[in-house]
Each structure stands twice: as structure tokens, then as C-alpha cells.
Copies of this chain bind each other. A is one copy, B any other.
């Protein structure tokens, strides 16, 4: 049932992204090295390997890369997106024409390393918050063009997703507030027009703003760059009347203290924009 929870991007949405990456790598003339150096009838078997431990994400993209380059390649996956693995773990085995494997290798690994890096970074925060009610959430600070995949990687790491874009939820931030003339004006204007299926969150910078938001009935509030002490005060003040999201400079070292304040969500941009790529590779079998 794990798969249900993660819901990987539909091939309908994934394939165009992988295709674009393959086009980017194949250029106009294609893989000239493999075409000119490797005889067309050489077959090979190779293992997709995680050289370091971490949380896996991107095997669906690896599968797409191999399939799009050559539908005759056979891929056997032995680990699933979302699994935590130890160092030097074989994740999958691919078998077929050597040229095709070589042509798709780099693109497949680029996705796998990038997304597993994000999943691993997310999982590191999630692990720190165990036993608290705080959930780790992502932001819109994602790599251009890869948001759908990166948000999936966050789910693989045990996080939950914040909004996917500017259109599927409202987040009224400080600059909106000042342009609107205050929290009350902003929220009232939003409520006048927004549909009932759109959630509204308001970002506050101070406890005063928090009180103002609560007064007018805001139910989801982002506490931006609050100190631990202020976070505790905020949780006490709110007392269950709203969901609270702590935001700002969250690291593996600081996240536990934030979680223990009692906030509901902790958002991190770094898990998507600054995760270290997982070290993954393709090892050809030799007999």
C-alpha cells in the first residue's frame, strides 16, 4: 500500500520530462560514441547501484529513460521509490543491447541521483521529528522544470507537499499584506472571491500579526522566522484554533527543537534546492 501513499507521477506527466532530458543529451547526432565504437549486436547486463546509503527516488524515471531509448531493454527493479537502502545496494538490473544501455545511462542516473538526494534530505528531517506531530513540508523553491518530480521525491522521503504552484492554494505573504493594507483587508478581499476548494494560508512575522490573523478566523498560518521561544508562544496562543507552519532556515540540527514547540508543519526549501546528489552508478556485469 506504500505505493498508494506516494503516488508517483503518471507516465503521461513523467515521460515528456524524461524525453526532454534525453533530447538534451542526444542532441542532433545522437550517441556517436556508442554508435561508432560498440558493435550493434553486443548485448550487456548492468546494475543500477546506490553507492552510498539513502532514500531512493527516481526509479520510475530510470525506467522511462531506458524504455524511451529502446522498448526492447528489459529492466528488473528490486527496490522501490521510497525505500531506504544501505551503501552499495543494487537497485535494478537492466539487460539488452549495450548501445541502448549506454545511451540512456547518464540521463537515467541524473534523475535518480538528483531525486534520491532530495528524498534523502527530506528523510533526514523527518527522522529528526519522530515522535512529534510535526510534518515536514516542501516549498516552491524547486528546480525549474522539475517541480512535479521533486515534490514526489519529498513524499518518498516521508514529507508532505505544500502547494504545487501559484494557482492551487493561496499563500498571503508579507508583500501581499503590505500591498493590500493589512491582514484584515487582504483576507477579506481574498474571501470575497476565492472558491470554496482553495485553501488560504497567511504568513505572519510577529505574534501581533498572529493574533490579528486568528481574530479574523484564518485557519492556516505560517510563522516566518520565529524564534523557538516565539514558536512556543504561538502554539500556546493558537491552542488548536489554526494549523501552524514554521518556516525559515530549518536544518537537521535545528529541526527537532522546532518540532518540539508543537507546530503542525515545518517547511524547508533546502530539501529541494540544496540537496546533495546521491552517488549512483551503473555497473556492467562481467562474466
Q: Which A residues lie at the B interface, using CB under 8 A?
A: 1, 3-5, 7, 9-10, 12-13, 17-40, 42, 44, 68-69, 98, 102-103, 106-107, 109-111, 113-114, 117, 135, 137, 140-148, 151, 155, 160-173, 175-176, 178-180, 186, 189-190, 192-199, 201, 220, 243, 245, 264-265, 269-270, 273-274, 276-277, 284, 286
Contact B160 A110 (CB under 8 A): no
Chain multiplicity (copies): 6
- The 9 lowest CB-CB distance pairs between A and B, nearest first, are A7-B35, A27-B167, A21-B144, A29-B167, A168-B168, A273-B277, A27-B165, A31-B166, A169-B197
Residue from B24, B36, B197 within 8 A of A5 (CB atoms): B36
Residue from B142, B176, B197 within 8 A of A34 (CB atoms): B176
Contact B270 A195 (CB under 8 A): no
Contact B5 A28 (CB under 8 A): no
Residue from B113, B166, B176 within 8 A of A37 (CB atoms): B176
For A162, A173, A197, A245, the residue with the greatest tally of chain B CB atoms inside 10 Å of its CB is A197
Give bound CA distance, A273 to B220, whole Å: 35
Give bound CA distance, A144 to B24, whole Å: 8
Residue from B25, B135, B144, B274 within 8 A of A20 (CB atoms): B144
Contact B179 A5 (CB under 8 A): no
Given A32-B166, A143-B143, also A137-B196 (CB < 8 A):
yes
Given A27-B164, A141-B110, A143-B114, also A102-B178 (CB < 8 A):
no
Contact A17 B276 (CB under 8 A): no
Give bound CA distance, A42 to B186, whole Å: 13
Residue from B9, B31, B146, B243 within 8 A of A144 (CB atoms): B146
Contact B190 A102 (CB under 8 A): no
Give bound CA distance, A148 to B13, whole Å: 19
7 contacts between A and B (CB under 8 A): A1-B39, A27-B27, A28-B167, A37-B179, A37-B180, A106-B141, A143-B143
* Residues of chain B lying within 8 A (CB to CB) of residue A1: 39-40
